[in-house]
Amino acid sequence: MKDVQTLSLEFQPLVAQGFTLAECPRWDWRHQTWCWVDIAEGEIWRLTNGQAQARRWDDMLGCFALWKEDGFVLATKTGVYALENWDAERQLIAPLQKTHPRMRFNDGRCAPGGRLIAGTRNGAKEGDQGQFYQLQQGGQLEAMPMFAWTCNGLAFSPCGNVLYWADTGSSLIYRADYNPQTGEYGESTVFCDLTAFNGRPDGASVDSEGGYWVAMYSGQSVVRIDPTGTVSHVIPVPLENPTMVALGGENGNQLVVTSAAGSDKPGEVITATIAWQAVNEPLITTL
């Protein structure tokens, strides 16, 4: 850890209001706007002309991906849904088959090649563990052999040939080879062990140099890991429970971090400028 740099950034609120469990920040390059979710409230949010707007369902919303010119694909407690545009009614693509009532979709995104990959979470911490699923052509959810009580940290290398994911409970980050054309993947191996750092790895993103940025829940920090699996930077954040990190913005150098409610204040969405560049999110193409 002696070569790890502490990087201090000037953070400010992206929006003024608070949230229960803000997650999945994502730069929507189609409309040049930031979006995110509040998992506990079943909400997807977007920031348009300085105004934050929300769509809400009575269904915990773990993550989303971009689809077509205006749509989204949503992964929730009950399944995967298509939202044709912001004002549309959602349409069920695939239900989440589960053996425990507290199982729900948690972290996920569109993989290079256009497939949704999303992991689940079993909040009871008993019975089945969560695992990742890949949405194939025709709306079939393919179970992937990547298991954790809380599946997190899904991200891809800039070339699309490496898949990363985090087991929050063990503080381990894994990597696996990935084929964007076919959706095939290799065996997961440990990429980085974060047990020596404060907090636990939650949601993540990758920059154009291949650096893996991950929010450290209850650790008041974000960690950047270089492509060799070595932690290069620790970024303190003014959040008790950071949940996910994203890179984007008009110039590609905006960092956004979300958080869950803490002991004395609600969850927040904050932002800062960084020296790295974002990689644009791909669009879902398998629907």
pLDDT value, residue 4:
95
pLDDT value, residue 285:
95
User: How much of the chain, in percent, has pLDDT values that exceed 70?
Assistant: 99
Mean pLDDT of 196-218: 98
Q: Which residues pair with 23 in a beta bridge?
A: 37
pLDDT surpassing 70 at residue 54: yes
Confidence of residue 43 (pLDDT cuts 50, 70, 90): very high
> CB-based contacts of 44: which residues, under 8 Å, 6+ apart?
35, 36, 37, 54, 55, 61, 64, 72, 74
> pLDDT tens-digit profile of 103-149?
999 999 999 999 999 999 999 888 899 999 999 988 999 999 999 99
Using an 8 Å Cβ cutoff, are 199 and 216 in contact?
A: yes
**104 assigned ligand-binding residue:** yes
User: What's the one-letter identity of residue 58?
Assistant: D
Mean pLDDT of 211-216: 99
Mean pLDDT of 89-114: 96
pLDDT value, residue 138:
86
pLDDT value, residue 2:
63
Four-CA torsion 52, 57, 58, 64, nearest 10 degrees: -90
**167 assigned ligand-binding residue:** no
pLDDT value, residue 127:
87
**49 assigned ligand-binding residue:** no
Q: Give the count of beta carbons closer than 10 Å to the beta carbon of residue 93.
A: 19
Name all domains of the chain by residue range, CATH numbers in brackets. Answer: 5-273 (2.120.10.30)
Indicate which residue of 28, 167, 202, 207 is catalytic: 202
State whether residue 41 is helix, strand or coil.
helix
Distance CA 52, CA 122 (A): 30
For 65, the token pair is: 């991906």
Which of 74, 79, 76 lies closest to 35 in space, CA to CA? 74
**106 assigned ligand-binding residue:** yes
Distance CA 200, CA 59 (A): 26
pLDDT value, residue 1:
61
Question: pTM of the entire structure?
Answer: 0.97
User: How much of the chain, in percent, has pLDDT values that exceed 90?
Assistant: 94
Confidence of residue 68 (pLDDT cuts 50, 70, 90): very high
Which of 45, 3, 49 lies closest to 26 in space, CA to CA? 45
Using an 8 Å Cβ cutoff, are 106 and 119 in contact?
A: yes
How is 144-212 classified by DSSP, letter by letter?
EEEEESBEEEEEE-TTS-EEEEEETTTTEEEEEEB-TTT--B---EEEEE-TTSSSEEEEEEEBTT-PE
Q: Is 177 a catalytic residue?
A: no
pLDDT value, residue 3:
86
What mean pLDDT value characterizes the chain? 97
Q: Which residues pair with 212 in a beta bridge?
A: 206, 225
> CB-based contacts of 50: which residues, under 8 Å, 6+ apart?
none
pLDDT surpassing 80 at residue 255: yes
**253 assigned ligand-binding residue:** no
Which of 104, 64, 106, 109 lies closest to 86 in space, CA to CA? 64
- In this structure, what are the phi and psi dihedrals at residue 130, rounded to the nearest 5 degrees? -70, 165
